[in-house]
Structures are given as C-alpha cells and as structure tokens.
Amino acid sequence: MEIIWHGQSFFEINSKDPSARIVIDPFDETIGLKVAKPEADILLISHNHRDHANKKAVKGHPLIIEEPGEYEAHDIYIKSIASFHDDSQGAARGLNNIYVFQAEGITVCHLGDFGQKELSDEQLEAIGDVDILMVPIGGKYTLDAKGAAKVVSQVEPRLVIPMHYQVPGLKEELDSLDNFVKEMGFTPEAPEKKLRLKKTNLSPEKTNIAILEVS
C-alpha cells in the first residue's frame, strides 16, 4: 500500500491487491495549498466543506461516497460512519463521515473533520480493529492534540497518521504538529514523502506514528 498526503485531510491511497486508487477529502485552492489532481477509482468525502469536497480536482470516473452506509467497489469494502463535526451534536458545524476500509489486508480509518470529544461506544464498535488511523489534530474545527490523543487511545491503532494541522502556505490557523507530538510523548522521525507499507510492517504490540510531508 502506498499513502500520499496533500495537506489537510487530503490523501491518496494506492492498493495493489485489490487494485484500486482511493482519494479522500480533496480541498480547493482557497485554503492556500497547491491542489493535487489525482486519478481515483473511489472518492470519499467526509463532509461538504470547501477544504474537503473538491470533487472537480479528481480525475477519472470514481465511485463517490459521501453518505453514511456500507459500500463495495473494486473488491474493497467501505463503511461510512456518521459522526459530528463539533461537540454540540452538529449544531455548530454539521455532520461528518468517518471512513473505514480494508486494502491489502490493512484496515484504514480516516476520521474526517471529527469534532466530538471522543468516539461513542457505537462508533467504536462500528470502526472495529484498525491498523492505520488518520486523525485530525489541529483544533479549532476538529480535535486538538489532547482530544486526538484520547481518540487514539480509544481506537488503539497500530499506526497513527496525523492530519489537518498547520503547514506552510495554509491560510487556516490551526495548531502545529508539535502539540500532538508532545501530547503523545513521541520523538518523530524525519517526515516521509510517501508511506509504503505492508501488513507485516505494522507492529501488533504498540502504536507508532508516521509523519508525512505535504506532497
């Protein structure tokens, strides 16, 4: 599996077996970052905000998923789990989809703009056992560092990829990666341009953190 991060919550995930290109939460140019234009077989949208739902940036003819439910495409089973973009039952910023899918035997969970203080029991049960957790850490619109660390402890993934935090060029004002690193008590290695991994690369005994460069 190959994982590429374009900033915010925008990811490309390329699977060889089954063969599929998955794109999640593409943003538009108004946020200040360069807009990548990947080709996709599956496009996942966590919510309809400009920094997560730029469908026009994605090439090809992907299956677009933007509602809660269960889906299957290109031999990949996908769960879209309803959640809130804030901690007031969606009153401030509306709804958000959490996505869980498996490719190459690896289970990935992308939390979108999750804004609740924690996952509910029902959400945790629906998410299940996770290998890779993509979690927002920048605060203001989503979980902050402390909240993200709590959700990581709830899910207990094998690998955490932080997202939706301050990077050079971003016009939004979010918290830095440093806050999350400190909260987790983690000494990060050098950021990677692309993350290539197999199920056997993931530790069954502890949670590791991978930092990606904006590509």
Exposed e or buried b for every residue in 5-28, given b needs 16+ CB within 10 A? bbbbbbbbbbbeeeebbbbbbbbb
pLDDT tens per residue across span 175-208: 999 999 999 998 888 899 999 999 998 988 889 9
**Would you state the CATH architecture of domain 2-209?**
4-Layer Sandwich (3.60)
* DSSP one-letter string for 73-105: ETTEEEEEEEEESSSSTTTTT-EEEEEEEEETT
pLDDT at 188: 81
Please, what sign has the CA dihedral across residues 9, 211, 128, 15? positive
Six-digit token string for 152: 């990581």
> What is the sign of the dihedral through the CA atoms of 173, 176, 180 and 182?
negative
Burial of residue 119 (CB within 10 Å: 0-12, 13-18, 19+) is buried
pLDDT of the residue at 100: 98
Give residue 12's pLDDT.
Answer: 98
Residue stretches of the chain with pLDDT short of 50: none
**pLDDT at site 7:** 96
Q: What is the reported pLDDT for 85?
A: 86
Structure confidence at residue 109 (pLDDT): 98
